[in-house]
Amino acid sequence: MLNQNNSKMKKVISIAAVALMAFGLTSYVAENTANEFEFMSDLNTMLACANCSTGNNPDRDPPKTA
């Protein structure tokens, strides 16, 4: 009787451990996916605006005054 209860308890603990690992893996993947989309959005912004962040371009002549 005691051995049978130990066996059931081991199964319950194993199932709980697998469920906990699955939940952790799912939350990890969801977080990384969100970060990846944020990175892609930032990358698209940088590519669309090549020199927006740098106001001074040393290769450019200064504006002419009339």
Model confidence over 1-27: pLDDT tens digits?
A: 567 788 899 999 999 999 999 999 999
pTM for the model stands at: 0.49
- Nearby residues of 51 by Cβ (< 8 Å), 6 or more positions away: 57
CB 44 within 8 A of CB 50: no
Residue with tokens 């051995």: 3
Extract the tokens encoding 23: 């939940």
Would you say residue 32 has pLDDT above 90?
A: no
> What residues does each domain of the chain span?
22-46
The sign of the CA dihedral 31, 40, 58, 63 is negative
